[in-house]
Amino acid sequence: MSRHRTTARSRNLLGALVSLVLAGLAAAAFTTPTASGREQGVPRLVFPLVAKTDLWDNYSDPRGNGRHAGIDMENPWRAPVVAVEDGSVEYAESALGGCMLYLYGDSGTMYLYIHLNNDLTARNDNTGGCVKDVTFSVPNGARVAAGQQIAWNGDSGDANDNPHLHFEVHPGGGADVNPFKHLKRASRPLFAAKAGSPFSLGLRGKLIAVGANSVTLEVERVRQYPGGRWLEIDPRTVELTVPPEATVAPSLGEVSGVAPRTLRTPVPVAAYTVKAKTTTDAIAGVAGTLQLSRVSPIT
């Protein structure tokens, strides 16, 4: 596209200044926005999966069908896929992408999730189609909150037998941008659930600190009740409050009314939380939002 050129009609200083201003405005009007400019509307995201994730920057890698428009993340089959921000969802499918989902975020950013589950059994049967309760955990068109489960990870389309999530970010619903930096700074959900729904968690990992009516775990595996299964996650620290009725194995020491202390040798444990209502802070595992029901060593 050719630029409009504005020429001064007067040799006086005022005319020259006006010409320079108009020329600058014309140039700005036809300048392609920078990547950072296009990404101004993207909020801090919730990470799109609850599972141990092999994450690296493969955006724009050459592919057989063109430039790679998103990030591929290696994740376990049928790991919970979650909404990265509040918004609404729309089902989709294609030969290459398989079962897909659009999330139209409240920020105006559109997110695309590709290669979702299409298996009915634990085998790679590809017989489930792209439907609710196989691929998607919410109805088409549903309003969802950040951290709420919306689908299951899979290997549909041309990802057959290679489960992973292809994830795209489209600020303002326009061209794709590199999701990598947004994923690196995203808050990691400890589990996935709808706000207000009942839940309790099983946590496996290492006890690293006790005392002051709290325990701190380095969590490596999580199970959500009801209906969940044990999932390996990227290790993270979680602090739980200890109510008077909680059961703490005597071998782990006193935790009520004593000064907090870090254990010299972390102890492998299994812990379970008190049944509660899901909140955004609970999903994020914010310190003090989860209450301990019982904890014991793993031998």
Number of Cβ within a 10 Å radius of residue 88: 16
SS3 (DSSP) at 229: coil
- The 10s digit of each residue's pLDDT in 229-240 is 999 999 999 999
User: Please, which pLDDT band fits residue 58 given cuts at 50, 70 and 90?
Assistant: confident
Query: Which DSSP letter does residue 196 get?
Result: T
SS3 (DSSP) at 85: coil
- Maximal CA-CA distance, the chain: 91
CA distance to 28, 35, 38, 40, 178, per residue, from 175 (Å): 20, 10, 9, 13, 10
Residue 23 host element (H or E): helix 13-29
CB 162 within 8 A of CB 241: no
Q: Which residues contact 270 (CB under 8 A, 6 or more apart)?
A: 202, 203, 204, 295, 296, 298
Mean pLDDT of 271-289: 95
pTM of the full predicted structure?
Answer: 0.81
Copy the structure tokens of residue 60: 């724009």
Taking the C-alpha atoms of residue 172 and residue 38, their distance in angstroms, rounded to an integer, is 8
CA distance to 11, 137, 146, 243, per residue, from 192 (Å): 68, 11, 9, 24
- The 10s digit of each residue's pLDDT in 175-208 is 999 999 999 999 999 999 988 999 999 999 999 9
